[in-house]
């Protein structure tokens, strides 16, 4: 134990002189938010010795305990403060105590602990993963992108980027843009930088095109994990928008999606509208065919009559209708589709998809099933669902199955998470895999099935798994698309609800506590009482619950370093932002923001914070 001598000799129990105390620490250097054990040795048993009697600079003292065998000895825990160069922490007992004879104590010696400087590594990412700009007609134009650090640092941060790390875009290097592999450096204190890629202008009529710009590595920073921190990303998809006109009028379908019901017999016309971009002075002939793209699910001569033909716009005309005959039937089946494509044009140009917005050179034509099945169908009410994971144990992720109609016989449906394991969530780590069944009693049309989600405190991206229907008795599994919203599978998203991985939960008691955070993003929960809560560096979450409310401001928790836009107030249980009253304090708290319930009971004091700056974005729900 690194000790220091007493400021005065103990007078023992002789009744002469003032009682004395010596203070020692087990360490003489301490990292940011590190812990030291303090030992107070009194010459006589003290009366009324408490945490408030201890003077501290740059840190906090907590857990003051009297020795079980020697009442003259007390121990406490010192938590180091935010460390800066050459900063020291000092601890001293100021003498505000007495012994059993009522004699005032003398101050202790001062313990000095040298702080170790720590390094905080920020994350870096683009402010958005989507951007666009027109290409221009000649030369080059800079396409600017903003790169942002999660927090300022005290040393330079260099970030390397390249358009060649992902060359999967439709834009061509050296034709549409000038490829680049380079770096940018943030000076100490900077959090935002702009980098540019030169776009090459032309007068060619073409579709919009895009390229990728990626962050490849960083020095003194970590590249952001996509999805873990919201809007910032390690890459951006950069769209070069066409701004050139076609030399002749263009022709295209008014939409590339259309639908109609099939009918029960015979044929009926499925109509599509073709439109010129401008009237022509001479006839424009356009050729079209269902056979140019036969990749649809509908079958020629069974679901529709294939066609290859042409239509002519007379001078001045800009709109024409072409048709494909759809064949009706009474078979229950999925919705099906075929493609109708423009193949060539005379005195006109077929529109380049994407160059003129909504018009297109092809249309996906959906034939909607209008027949009922012989047995009821069963499916999930939605193919998308989400739930927060929780912090520990398991909780049920519920999904609703629905029959299209009540059955007179029991309907048993089998389901499994193992039929499709292509999701990003991991079985037995993020969820408990299940293969089971559920039975609808006669007359029932809705049942709930569940998959257990495994809670953790790991900071990670949202993850998902699939739950699929595998078979059914006395019912048909719904054919996706045949009955609208119901589906044979559901993509189940487990939403991350944890703070970054540097976070450790720091918890107090219902009494008065002094809690200090670490250099990362902390979760501090004082559990009620007139606590002193300090997060120090990082994006910290200070937890409040209705049960923590106090009748007066002085009896409520004080949050010493709340940073608007950086830290958050975590609302526990049924506490919500809409159920809070945020106001400026008065008298001793005139410079502070007061967080209270509508009843006036105080949840917390935000020390030195202007209430006008606090809004819904400063509050988050916590489990």
Last residue of a domain, one of 76, 94, 116: 116
Residue 6 counted as domain residue: no
Predicted confidence at residue 503, as pLDDT, reads 42
Last residue of a domain, one of 58, 85, 116: 116
Where the chain has pLDDT below 50, the residues are 1-15, 85, 500-503
- How many domains is the chain built from? 5
Nearest partner of 66 among 91, 45, 90, 35, judged by Cα: 45
Spatial neighbors of 115 by CB under 8 A, at least 6 apart, are 29, 30, 31, 32, 58, 80, 81, 83, 84, 87, 88, 89
Residue 8 counted as domain residue: no
CATH number for the domain that contains residue 479 = 2.60.40.2030
Predicted confidence at residue 214, as pLDDT, reads 94
In this structure, the answer to whether residues 575 and 480 fall within a common structural domain is no
In this structure, the answer to whether residues 542 and 591 fall within a common structural domain is yes
Predicted confidence at residue 427, as pLDDT, reads 94
Nearest partner of 561 among 545, 540, 583, 577, judged by Cα: 540
Pseudo-torsion of CA 103, 105, 106, 111, nearest 10°? 170
Residue 197 counted as domain residue: yes
Domain of residue 56, residue span: 21-116
Predicted confidence at residue 557, as pLDDT, reads 95
Residue 4 counted as domain residue: no
In this structure, the answer to whether residues 443 and 337 fall within a common structural domain is no
In this structure, the answer to whether residues 107 and 192 fall within a common structural domain is no
In this structure, the answer to whether residues 439 and 512 fall within a common structural domain is no
Predicted confidence at residue 227, as pLDDT, reads 60
Please check whether residue 388 is in contact with residue 495, taking contact to mean a CB–CB distance below 8 angstroms.
Answer: yes
User: Helices (H), strands (E): how many in the chain?
Assistant: 0, 48
Buried b (16+ CB within 10 A) or exposed e, 76-114: bebbbbbbeeeeebebbbebebbbeeebebbbbbebebe
Predicted confidence at residue 303, as pLDDT, reads 96
Read off the tokens for 356: 């003129």
Helix (H, G, I), strand (E, B) or coil at 402: strand
Alpha-carbon distance of 545 to 525, in angstroms, equals: 9
Q: What angle do CA 138, 144, 147 make, to 5 degrees?
A: 160
In this structure, the answer to whether residues 112 and 130 fall within a common structural domain is no
Please check whether residue 284 is in contact with residue 313, taking contact to mean a CB–CB distance below 8 angstroms.
Answer: yes
In this structure, the answer to whether residues 279 and 201 fall within a common structural domain is no
Alpha-carbon distance of 65 to 62, in angstroms, equals: 9
Nearest partner of 508 among 615, 604, 393, judged by Cα: 604
In this structure, the answer to whether residues 406 and 359 fall within a common structural domain is no
Beta strand spans in 541-608 (E):
541-544, 557-559, 568-572, 581-584, 593-596, 602-606
Q: Enumerate long-range contacts of 396-400, CB under 8 Å, 24 or more apart.
A: 396/450, 396/451, 396/452, 396/453, 397/431, 397/450, 397/451, 397/452, 397/453, 397/492, 397/494, 398/448, 398/449, 398/450, 399/448, 399/449, 399/450, 399/451, 399/467, 399/490, 399/492, 400/446, 400/447, 400/448
Q: How many residues does the chain have?
A: 623
In this structure, the answer to whether residues 490 and 444 fall within a common structural domain is yes
323-379 pLDDT per residue, tens: 999 999 988 788 899 999 999 999 999 998 766 667 889 999 999 988 877 789 999
CATH number for the domain that contains residue 48 = 2.60.40.10
In this structure, the answer to whether residues 102 and 203 fall within a common structural domain is no
Predicted confidence at residue 518, as pLDDT, reads 78
413-457 pLDDT per residue, tens: 999 999 999 998 999 999 999 999 999 999 999 999 999 999 887
In this structure, the answer to whether residues 146 and 103 fall within a common structural domain is no
Read off the tokens for 552: 């007066």
32 CB neighbour count, 10 Å cutoff? 24
Read off the tokens for 470: 């595998």
In Å, how far are 23, 63, 96, 535 from 112, measured between CA atoms? Answer: 11, 19, 20, 23
Q: φ and ψ at 311, to 5 degrees?
A: -140, 145
Residue 95 counted as domain residue: yes
Structure pTM? 0.39
Number of Cα atoms under 13 Å in the Cβ half of residue 273: 11
Beta strand spans in 135-282 (E):
140-149, 157-162, 181-186, 192-200, 209-219, 222-223, 235-241, 250-253, 257-261, 267-276
Residue 139 counted as domain residue: yes
In this structure, the answer to whether residues 319 and 255 fall within a common structural domain is yes
Helix (H, G, I), strand (E, B) or coil at 346: strand
């Amino acid at each position: 134990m690194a000790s220091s001598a007493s400021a005065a000799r103990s007078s023992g129990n002789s009744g002469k002189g003032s009682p004395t105390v010596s203070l020692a620490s087990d360490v003489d250097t301490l990292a940011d938010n590190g812990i030291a054990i303090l030992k107070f040795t009194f010459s006589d048993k003290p009366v009324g010795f408490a945490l408030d009697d201890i003077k501290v600079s740059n840190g906090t003292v907590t857990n003051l305990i009297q020795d079980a065998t020697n009442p003259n000895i007390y121990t406490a825990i010192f938590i180091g403060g935010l460390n800066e160069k050459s900063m020291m922490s000092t601890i001293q007992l100021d003498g505000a105590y007495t012994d059993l004879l009522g004699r005032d104590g003398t101050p202790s010696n001062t313990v000095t602990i040298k702080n170790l400087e720590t390094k905080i590594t920020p994350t870096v990412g683009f402010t958005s993963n989507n951007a666009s700009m027109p290409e221009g007609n000649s030369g080059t134009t800079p396409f600017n992108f903003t790169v942002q650090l999660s927090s300022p640092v005290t040393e330079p941060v260099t970030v390397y980027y390249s358009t060649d790390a992902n060359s999967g875009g439709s834009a061509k290097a050296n034709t549409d843009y000038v490829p680049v592999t380079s770096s940018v450096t943030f000076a100490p204190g900077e959090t935002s930088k702009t980098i540019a890629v030169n776009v090459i202008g032309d007068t060619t009529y073409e579709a919009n095109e895009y390229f990728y710009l990626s962050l490849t590595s960083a020095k003194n920073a970590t590249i952001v994990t996509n999805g873990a921190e919201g809007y910032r990303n390690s890459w951006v998809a950069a769209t070069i928008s066409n701004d050139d006109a076609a030399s002749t009028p263009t022709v295209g379908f008014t939409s590339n999606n259309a639908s109609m019901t099939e009918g029960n017999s015979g044929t009926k016309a499925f109509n599509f509208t073709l439109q010129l971009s401008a009237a022509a002075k001479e006839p424009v002939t356009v050729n079209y065919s269902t056979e140019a793209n036969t990749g649809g699910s509908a079958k020629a001569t069974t679901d529709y009559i294939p066609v290859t033909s042409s239509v002519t716009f007379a001078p001045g005309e800009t709109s024409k209708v072409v048709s494909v005959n759809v064949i009706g039937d009474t078979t229950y089946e999925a919705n099906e589709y075929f493609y109708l494509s423009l193949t060539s044009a005379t005195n006109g140009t077929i529109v380049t998809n994407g160059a003129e917005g909504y018009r297109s050179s092809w249309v996906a034509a959906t034939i909607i099933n209008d027949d009922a099945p012989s047995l009821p169908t069963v499916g999930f009410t939605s193919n998308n669902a989400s739930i927060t994971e929780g912090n520990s144990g398991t909780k049920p992720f519920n999904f609703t199955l629905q029959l299209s109609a009540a059955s007179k016989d029991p309907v048993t449906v089998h389901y499994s998470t193992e039929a499709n394991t292509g999701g990003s969530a991991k079985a037995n780590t993020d969820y408990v895999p299940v293969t089971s069944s559920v039975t609808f009693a006669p007359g029932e049309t809705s049942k709930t099935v569940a998959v257990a989600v495994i809670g953790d405190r790991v900071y990670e991206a949202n993850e998902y798994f699939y739950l699929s229907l595998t078979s059914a008795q006395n019912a048909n599994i719904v054919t996706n698309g045949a009955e609208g919203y119901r589906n044979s599978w559901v993509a189940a998203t487990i939403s991350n609800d944890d703070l970054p991985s540097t976070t450790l939960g720091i918890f107090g008691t219902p009494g008065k506590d002094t809690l200090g955070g670490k250099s990362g993003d902390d979760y501090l929960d004082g559990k009620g009482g007139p606590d002193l809560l300090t997060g120090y560096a990082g994006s910290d979450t200070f937890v409040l619950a209705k049960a923590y409310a106090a009748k007066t401001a002085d009896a409520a928790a004080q949050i010493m370093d709340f940073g608007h836009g950086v830290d958050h107030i975590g609302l526990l249980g049924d506490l919500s932002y809409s159920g809070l009253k945020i106001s400026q304090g008065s008298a001793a708290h005139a410079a502070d923001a007061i967080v209270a319930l509508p009843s006036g009971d105080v949840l917390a004091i935000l020390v030195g914070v202007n209430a006008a700056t606090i809004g819904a974005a400063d509050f988050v729900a916590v489990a």
